[in-house]
Each structure stands twice: as structure tokens, then as C-alpha cells.
Amino acid sequence: MNQTDTAVTRGNGQDILLQAFHWNLVKSHGTGTLDQQDKTWYQILIQKVKEIAEMGITIVYLPPPWIDDSKWEKDEKHGGGEGYFWRDFDLNSRYGTKHQLIELVQIFHRYNIKVIIDIVLNHRDRFRMQNDVWHFPGPAWRANGSDTGGAFFDGSCDLKLDQPEVYERFKHALNELLDDCQVDGWRWDFVWGYHPNDVFNLIKDTKKVEYFSVGEYWQAANITDDPMFKRYGGSESSRIIGWAKDSGCCVFDMVLKREINSATAYNLKNGLNLHNDPEIRSSIATLVENHDTGASPYSPSNGWGQKVWECPPNFKSRAYAFILSTPGTPCVYWPDYFDWGLTEIKDLIRARKKAEITSRSEWINFSESCGGFAAIIKNAKGMEALAVSIDSSFQAPDLSWEIEAEKKGEWTVWLKKS
């Protein structure tokens, strides 16, 4: 059912997200950011809040908050503990304690930054459960099987959200994060294996109105037991857009992510964030990388993180120039700015804010005549405000435009003089 007649958790249209973690934070054997340090990640972030605010970030999203003591080693690589195979709802995780999380959120709020949390609804670690609320095997589970959103993947334990005991326990856990920790919303991890109506209902049934939520619908293949396939058919774009409509959340633009990975600027215009419907544009969150798709620092011996769908490094600056200049709600990946020195991200955020570009902004396409990607983006008042050229011959139309940010040979951003 389309949920447009209810509250929608998509922020104010002017938000810029920061994914404030990466895959290798909790690795051991000298390959993790926190290995042998005397501070937790929450404590480190507390020291970074001012810098994050100065970047222009308005929302940070934090890693899964529940305890995860899973471990694995294979082919001289190792992992576990990242939060994606959580054990139970204990908020004292490898990233820090519940008290530290509360303090971190409070400090972010002082700087007018919202906080959302990565929530994993569809899988957990059943091998290390202690004092568990769901007996295994039992009606709460379909191990390696399907839930309200179809089968998840082998190696996981799939929780059944259509079971009242499971749904109510999740609702209680989300209320704890909303009430005790004062978080502002959710990033729904890999939203395959549960139905968008589950997300919609959890948002509706929690005590506090969430500010922003975004889902990761990442499934190009036609999976017949995926409810989005049944409802919206084989088009990946239709299923992504449909998930946002049915959940009331934003959704990450994996169509654009594929075009970013092609490293061809001309293809960027195919992203869902440039859809002709402003309602759809406002439901789209754009990204260059996340903890799964891209590399993570500090671990050359451990494969540099996940890297399952990586943007070519020599195209990354162009990709940020695109997502930070165009409609949708852009998301910055922590290592790109804080570890690998893409300082132009801050310049691009400044340009976006000066121009008052929103998630719904209209745009004028010049790519066909100039090659690469070229466009003029309008502000919320419908006035031409920002021009962007990526690998394109496009130049500012007249002297009423001036360069605001540039990486020579790659991209240029102009702002209209006031």
C-alpha cells in the first residue's frame, strides 16, 4: 500500500548525511582503527563533532548499536563484531557503551546535527545468543529462509517480523534508542528479507516521530519472492522507487551507484535523483560508497575492507561533485573525507548550501550538447542557482556566474551571483 497519506521521514530537503563509520573500525590483529586504542568509536566521534559541523553535515548515521561478538577467520583474513550479526539488544557494543552513545547524541544535537542509527532487522548471530527472548528453533525464525520480504541469504538467521513477539521486541528496542538515546531516525540495512510495510509500521508505532530514515534496497536481480518484484515488476528503478513509497522513507540510489561505478560522467544523468517527478527526487538518497561497497582504512593485510562494489578511485572526486550539486539527499562516506583527504567535499557542501539546492530541485540538462555531465540546478524558489560541469565542455553561460569550487581537469561548480 502506498503510504503517502501519512507522515514521511525524509528530513527537510536540505540535509547532508555523513556515514560516520567504516567496516574496519573494530578489527583486531592490528588491522582496525580501534585496535589497541584506549578510546571507543563513540568517544572518538565526540572529539570530531565540531569538525563534522564545520563540514556542513546535518545528519550522521552511526553503526548498528547492539552487541556483536561474532568472529570469523578465512584465507588469512578475519572479521566479526561490526554489528551486522548482533547477538541481542544490549547497547554496550564494540563501538562504545550506551552511556557514551547518549552523550554523543547530546553533543551532536548541540551542534544542530541529527543522528540516525543503522538497524539490522533481517539477520543476527544465532550461535552466540544469551538469555534470548526468541527460542531457536521456533516460530520467530526461518533459518536461511524467507520472511515477509523474501529469502535473505545463506549463513544468516532470518527473523520473522510477522510474528508479534518479534515485532514487539523490535519496537521496544527502537523506542529505547528514541527515548533513552534521543536518536532521530534509522538507516535500514539491506531491506531485502523484510517488507517495506514492516518499516512503515515500526516508524508509525514508535513513540517519537522520526526525522529521517533511509533504506538500502540493493537487488538488481529479479528475485521472485521479493515483495517489491511482485508489486512493481522487474525494473530495478521501479522497485527502488516503490520501496520508498511504501515505507515512507528515503532510499539509496543504487541505480546511480551503478552509473558512478562506470566512471563515465555522461551516465550520471541516469540516476533516480534526477527523475522528472520532484516527489521521487525527494525520496532519493545518493552515495558514492558505503562500508560494504568501498574500501576501509588500516587493513592492507585484511583486504582493505569489503570493496564489493567500489567506485574507481580516480572517479571519486567527480562522483562527489555530482551528488553534492544535484537533487536528492547526499551521503558522504567517512574515510573519503577523514582518511583519504578528499577535502573538496567540504567546498562542494558549502556551494550546495549557498545555492540552497534541495532534494527536490529542478535541473536543466546540458549533457547532450556539451558531453560529460553538465547541468544548471535551481534552488527552492525555482531560480537558477548552481551550474556544474564534469568531464564536459560546458562553461558558465555569462558573467553573472562565478566559480565556487573546482578540481581542474575534472569538474567545476559555479554559483549565480546574487
**Helical H segments across 131-224, by residue range:** 164-179, 196-205
- The pLDDT of residue 196 is 94
Q: What is the H or E stretch that residue 386 is in?
A: strand 384-390
- Are 301 and 355 in contact, with CB atoms under 8 Å apart? no
Smallest Cα–Cα separation from 55: which of 417, 342, 384, 382?
342
Q: What angle separates helix 316-323 from helix 344-355, to the nearest 10 degrees? A: 20
Give the Cα separation of 303 and 136 in Å (integer): 34
Digit-by-digit pLDDT tens for the chain (418 residues) are 444 445 579 999 999 999 999 999 988 776 788 877 899 999 999 999 999 999 999 999 999 999 998 887 877 778 889 999 898 899 999 999 999 999 999 999 999 999 999 999 887 776 665 556 666 666 666 654 556 776 665 545 667 788 888 899 999 999 999 999 999 999 999 887 789 999 999 999 998 989 999 999 987 676 777 888 889 988 999 999 999 999 999 999 999 999 999 999 999 999 999 999 999 999 999 999 999 999 999 766 667 888 999 999 999 999 999 999 999 999 999 999 999 999 999 999 999 999 999 999 999 999 999 999 999 999 999 999 999 999 999 999 899 999 999 999 999 999 999 8
Statement: the pTM of the whole predicted model exceeds 0.85: yes
CB neighbour list of residue 329: distance below 8 Å, 6 or more residues apart: 10, 11, 13, 15, 16, 17, 214, 250, 284, 285, 286, 359
Alpha-carbon distance of 175 to 357, in angstroms, equals 33
The alpha carbon dihedral of 305, 32, 313, 285 has a sign of positive
Tell me the C-alpha distance between 261 and 398, whole Å.
Answer: 33
3-state secondary structure of 307: coil
Task: Tell the CATH topology of 17-252.
Answer: TIM Barrel (3.20.20)
What cell was used for 393? 565542455
Residue with cell 519472492: 225
Phi, psi of 141 (to 5 degrees): -120, 150
Q: Which amino acid is at 373?
A: F
User: Closest Cα to residue 285, out of 250, 317, 249, 259?
Assistant: 250
Q: Quickly list DSSP for 99-110.
A: HHHHHHHHHHHH
Instruction: Say if residues 407 and 346 touch (Cβ distance below 8 Å).
Output: no
- In 3D space, the residue among 401, 293, 297, 387 whose CA is nearest the CA of residue 340 turns out to be 297
